[in-house]
Amino acid sequence: MTDRVVQLRFDKRSTERLDKFLTESLPEFSRSRIQGLIADGFVDVNGHAAKKAGQTLEAGYTLTVRIPPPAPTDLVAEEIPLDIIFENEDLLVVNKPAGMVVHPAAGSPSGTLANALAFHFRELSTWAGPVRPGIVHRLDKDTSGVMIAAKTMSAFHSLVGQFKRRTVEKEYLALVWGNVVADKGIIDRPIGRHRSDRKRMSSLHFLNRSRDAVTVWSVEKRFAFSSLPRPRSRLTLLRLHPRTGRTHQIRVHLADLGHPLVGDRVYGLRRNKSVAGGFSESVLDGFPRQALHAERLTIDHVRTGRRMEFHAPLSNDLCGLLTRLQAAGSA
């Protein structure tokens, strides 16, 4: 496979950094990937190798970007069943189960969605990297719901661009601790690495670097249990529309709002042995993962631009939990 070559012309009136312009022009690549291409000599400015990522561009400059093919992959194809919602020649949409990691990483070398995709659909786009065939976005391991993968390079570029431009609509259901008083609202708080715990993110106590994050929410249902002390005596089912896609965004925003997800072992309430409405801690405190489900995803068709909407049925564990809560009591 040969290098992909992209020709660009800088025609803006004001000057701009090379890496910034290329990141805007090639939305399928992160800024760090662009900087790597520049450092490795894959970018020419006016026919000469780019000097550095921060090189200043002026009107009339021409650029040539060579994008090497992905390196041979060590990803092992695994015969793992997939719950396929939709498939055509460009896309694959699945309902990811809770407990499945999206792609191999430290501690999760196999059994991932990427391993399953590599087995079932060997021609999925690999432009996301050798261990992420066709993957253009991600869900946390313990979040269930709709995910989309690209089967061709053109579909991959289209989808990555849509996510970057924030034209993709995402909708989640979340069960949280406490009574959310208002019926709807917007959380607009930047998120960054927690300043004292590098494994966590925060919208309140982050280091200097942070990124904008916006989550729109509305209340679906409220539950109340007189046998439990506050804040554990009430729960709220929320519908959420994240406008950005930051790491742990929904989990962090809700926890910092004072309403962490049921079952969240990182950002949630501590477990105890309370009993609510006749059912034991195994129903609430023992719920094995964060009660978060990606229910809907809406994109533009990668060829026609027509809006396409995909729904992932609520997972059995969350369905069962909500059924038991409904039977035990509601606000």
Half-sphere exposure of 309 (CA within 13 A, CB side): 5
Question: Is omega for the bond preceding 231 within 30 degrees of 0, making it cis?
Answer: yes
Cα gap 112→100, rounded to integer Å: 6
Which pair of structure tokens corresponds to residue 48?
């000469």
- Annotated active-site residue 140? The verdict is yes
129: left (phi over 0), alpha (psi -120 to 50) or beta: left
Which are the contacts of 246, defined by CB distance < 8 A and separation ≥ 6? 191, 201, 211, 213, 252
H helix or E strand, kind and range, residue 325: helix 316-328
> Which residue among the candidates 19, 140, 256, 264 is catalytic per the annotation?
140
Cα gap 158→148, rounded to integer Å: 12
Cα gap 165→183, rounded to integer Å: 29
- Of 135, 11, 151, 1, which Cα lies nearest the Cα of 66? 1
Provide the 3-class DSSP secondary structure of residue 173. strand
Residue that has been written with the tokens 């312009």 in this structure: 21
Which are the contacts of 25, defined by CB distance < 8 A and separation ≥ 6? 6, 8
Catalytic residues: 140
